[in-house]
Structure 1
Amino acid sequence: MHVVQTIASIAERDGGPARTIRDLCEALARAGARVTLVARHDPARDGALLRPDPALVTTLLVPGRLPDFTAAIRPLGADIVHDNGLWSLANIAAGTAARRLGLPLLLTPHGMLEPWALAWHRRRKQLAWALYQRRLLAQAELLVATAAPEAAAIAALLPGKPVALVPNGVACPPLPDRSDRAAAPGRTLLSLSRLHPKKNLPGLVAAWARLAPQFPDWTLQISGPDEGNHRTALGDQIARLGLGDRVRLTGPVAEADKPALFAAADLFVLPSFSENFGITVTEALAAGVPVVATTGTPWASLATEACGWRAGTDPDSLATALATAMRLSPAERAAMGSRGHALVQRDFGWAPIAARLLDSYGRVMQGAPEPDPMHA
């Protein structure tokens, strides 16, 4: 089977989806598929790219605001097109290519059909929905959700549309030795994500203002690329609350630097209003770091697996959950991190995820129905 994955960008600065698609392409190739990744490319903007291993995956970069994916895909002899993300001209390019070449189209929204996401820039999305997005969703023979809440949101918006539930994966090395954290002179609460209103970072900073006087040995570190100049507003809030010496805004983090970043963290927090998955949660757990995540994320298993905590998105709820986690001893947090590492190994390895997705591809190509993800 020759699978073509398409995406608007594989720039490192674009975060989770770009990393996920790189790793997914490699996993599909290791599972026996022939895989080509076709991505829009803007050399003036993109910077470092997250390219799959060229020994496993062919990567084609197509320039232009409305890239010509049809010309890129036509000579490949592809069997299926799997597009990623919404609300982009690259989606039009992928849908057009699939239609012109007579190929089945799958689409992974990556959370872009969830209620919070639909409300953000609502008018722009209503226009895009009328112009092209509704047609492309209708064209797709299958939508892929990464967690049950996202599958439910898709079903509510598009009743009757087939949906497959396939989580994102993560590389999970052996559990690192975190005994050095007990002797460290200070503690670090890490947040790693795009600096974007969806991530609720002002809510996290407001929670931190309540906690900082109680936990003088802890520092909040917020890392990630700025989007829409959100960093300026965040920096102003930090200064206004007098937290300049208790919060570090460190900017983007290169992929190669992530292991050291997680190794230096005692606790991870994802305070988002909405996440279809939250790949940084799995990355933190794989590194043995316990996690606090909000009810806007699909991570109920943090509590059930005793590897983290769930909180509301409001500052009071975040502060309460974080205080509970920060009062534990380093040994207690390490034990939670160990359980989180086991959870990732069990449920989020790339090999079974690739096999699950290849099964869905086969069903689409054979015209077979997809099992109901809510009752499978």
Structure 2
Amino acid sequence: MRILNVTETYAPFLEFGGPPVKVRALSEGLARRGHTVGVLTADWGFEKRLQSETPKIAAERSPFGWRNNENGVQAIYLPTWFRYRALSWNPAVKRYCRARLQNFDVVHIFGLYDLLGPAVAGACCVRKIPYVLEPIGMFVPIVRNFLLKSFYHFAWGRRLFEGASAVIATSDQEAKELAAGGVPSGKIVLRRNGVEIPVSWPEPGAFRQAHGISQDAKLILFLGRLSAKKSPDLLLQAFAELPADLEGKPLQLVFAGPDEGGMRAQLEEMAAQLGLRTRIQFVGPIFDGNKWAAYRDADVFVLPSQNENFGNTAAEAVAAGTPVIVTEQCGIAPLLANEAGLVTRHDSAALSEALAQMLGTGQTRAKLEAGCAKVTSRLGWEEPVREMETLYARLASQPT
């Protein structure tokens, strides 16, 4: 089959979090299975990345923007004329659709609240090409710009969902949200996310050594965007309710990830007010080997989100052998509960209690750490890739 994945962000722009990692994993997985896979995405500074990336990216100019072929996937980075946060305006999308869209059997659109998806969806409807829509947890507005998001649904979102041949939910929680929002149940397809395990692992202790963290410290890790939706402030409050040390070992909290909306400054001010500034580190965005080193060196990983359609970072932590704590609002929670992690309410007292249980004298952490390998065996990308392959084949074979 000939498959086009449409996404606002794609590798090498991994600072945008889970979406570019997910789209890359699905795209390369389908390419390995013999399909022709293309990615249409926005250019967030590709030329600068060409100069700074190691190893170097072998890319070339195309009539539509930069073109990069990697691991069997051809990605086109449309020039960005305007950007606001993770939203871009890429006028070349119309020209691309006129010239190239008919070359694909099926299109998969990832994400909402951008302009690429509606433009490609409209072109698919005109050409009678089936498309799949994956909201990636954006369907229910949780924080920020409620009026703008309501306008988006009025102007584009409604037609985007109506024209889709299938809508992907990555957890039971997201499927229920979609159905409650009016998406016909017959359109909703449940397909979990997966996790990419590195070929080789960093040496134990590498992350701690790089950031001056004692090997004896009990390390609590938050890794992800520092955004209101992910509630790093809730974790900080829960941390403040714990003693300075447990079993004679100091507690250390690390926030790793890009700042969003000034959240880092809020956290730093909050930490200072609570008298915790010396026990907290902000290390900024980390990727690839540095990311896996952080997971591996942590005693516990925490994802305290208000709402999370899946929770890729929690899956990655488990793959690294580190038990996790997630809130009930995380779609991945049922896959981890009492096997590789603890599930708690979105409440600082409940989260603090879970941290104390995980890091205390009992056997909780040892039991959950032992369960990580079993859970990881169920979280690979092979199954999701096969499920997408089956769905695409069904849609492509239907009469138009």
Q: Could you tell me which amino acid in structure 1 is paired with residue 292 of structure 2?
A: P
Q: Which runs of 5+ in 1 are unaligned?
A: 369-376
Superposed CA RMSD in Å reads 2.8
How many angstroms apart in 1 are the aligned matches of 2:179 and 2:266? 36
The SS at the match of 1:217 is strand
Give the structure 1 partner of residue 76 of structure 2.
60
Query: Is 1:204 aligned to 2:227, yes or no?
Result: no
Following superposition, the deviation at residue 121 of structure 1 comes to: 2.1
Cα deviations by residue, 1:228-260 (Å, 9 ceiling, x for unpaired): 221111111111111101111111102231121
Shift of residue 29, structure 1, vs aligned partner? 1.0
Q: Does 1:126 align with 2:142?
A: no
Give the distance between the partners of 1:137 and 1:68, measured in 2 at CA.
Answer: 23
Question: What one-letter code is carried by the residue in structure 1 that aligns with 2:380?
Answer: G
Correspondence for 1:283: 316
Contact 2:202 2:289 in 1 (8 A): no
Matching residue of 1:269: 302
Which position in structure 2 is the counterpart of 1:4?
Answer: 4
Which residue is 1:371 aligned to?
A: none
Q: C-alpha separation between the residues in 2 aligned to 1:335 and 1:173? A: 24
Q: 1:255 to 1:93 in 2, by over 3 A?
A: farther
Q: Which moved more, 1:13-22 or 1:169-178?
A: 169-178
Pick closer, same or farther for the CA change 1:245–1:277 going to 2, 3 Å: same
Shift of residue 75, structure 1, vs aligned partner: 2.7
What does residue 193 of structure 1 align with? Answer: 224
| Structure 2 partner of 1:344 | 376
Letter in 2 for 1:62: L
TM-fit CA distance, 1:280: 0.3
1:107 Cα deviation from its structure 2 partner: 0.7
- 1:49 and 1:335 map into 2 onto residues whose CA distance is 40
Change (3 A) 1:127 1:332: closer
1:215-234 matches, cutoff 5 A = 215=246, 217-234=250-267
Q: Unpaired segments of 5 or more residues in structure 2?
A: 58-67, 81-88, 209-213
Residue 372 of structure 1 corresponds to none
Distance in 2 between residues matched to 1:364 and 1:88, nearest whole Å: 24
User: Within 2, Cα distance between the matches of 1:7 and 1:173?
Assistant: 24
> Normalization by structure 1: what TM-score?
0.88
Residue 179 of structure 1 deviates from its aligned partner by: 8.7
- Does structure 2 retain, via aligned residues, the 8 Å contact 1:70–1:100? no
Q: Which residue of 149, 162, 168 maps to 2:193?
A: 168
Task: Pick closer, same or farther for the CA change 1:159–1:100 going to 2, 3 Å.
Answer: closer
**Secondary structure of 2:192 counterpart:** coil
Q: CA deviation at 1:120?
A: 3.9
Q: 1:45 to 1:337 in 2, by over 3 A?
A: farther
**Structure 1 stretch 31-40 or stretch 359-368: which is displaced more?**
359-368
Task: Give the TM-score, by structure 2 length.
Answer: 0.83
Task: Provide closer, same or farther for how the CA distance between residues 100 and 212 of structure 1 changes in structure 2, counting only shifts above 3 A.
Answer: farther
How far 1:66 moved relative to its partner?
Answer: 3.4
**SS of structure 1 residue aligned to 2:74:** strand
Q: Offset at 1:275?
A: 0.2
- For 2:125 and 2:257, the matched residues in 1 are separated by 37
**Conserved in 2, the CA contact under 8 Å of 1:40 and 1:67?**
no
Q: CA deviation at 1:80?
A: 0.9
Alignment of 1:108 with 2:134, yes or no, is: yes
What letter corresponds to residue 294 of structure 1 in structure 2?
Answer: T
Secondary structure in 2 aligned to 1:248?
Answer: strand
CA gap of 1:214–1:8, structure 2 versus 1, over 3 A, is: same
The aligned amino acid for 2:3 is V
Q: 1:188 to 1:9 in 2, by over 3 A?
A: same
1:87, distance to aligned residue in structure 2 (A): 0.7
Alignment-mate amino acid for residue 317 of structure 1: A
Partner of 1:17: 19
Q: Which amino acid is the alignment partner of residue 333 of structure 1?
A: R
Hey, what does 1:26 align to over in structure 2? 28
Q: Is the 8 A contact 1:60 1:72 kept in 2?
A: no
CA distance in 2, matches of 1:287, 1:53: 29
- Cα pair 2:28 2:71 within 8 Å, conserved: no
In structure 1, C-alpha distance between the alignment counterparts of 2:42 and 2:125, rounded to whole Å: 18
Whole-angstrom distance in 2 between the partners of 1:177 and 1:339: 21
* Cα shift at 1:290: 0.2
Asked if structure 1 preserves the Cα contact closer than 8 Å seen for 2:69 and 2:75, the reply is no
2:83 corresponding residue in structure 1: none
Per the TM alignment, residue 335 of structure 1 is displaced from its structure 2 partner at its CA by 4.5
Give the structure 2 partner of residue 373 of structure 1. none
Aligned residues: 362
The 3-state SS of whatever aligns with 1:211 is coil
Secondary structure of the corresponding residue to residue 143 of structure 1: strand
Aligned match of 2:159: 135
In the TM superposition, what is the alpha-carbon distance from 1:173 to its structure 2 partner?
A: 5.4
Q: Is the 8 A contact 2:292 2:320 kept in 1?
A: yes
| 1:225 alignment partner, SS class | coil
Q: Does 1:242 align with 2:275?
A: yes
* Higher RCO (CA < 8 A, seq sep 6+): 1
CA spacing shift, 1:105–1:253, aligned 2, 3 Å: same
Look up the SS of the partner of 2:252 in the other structure: strand
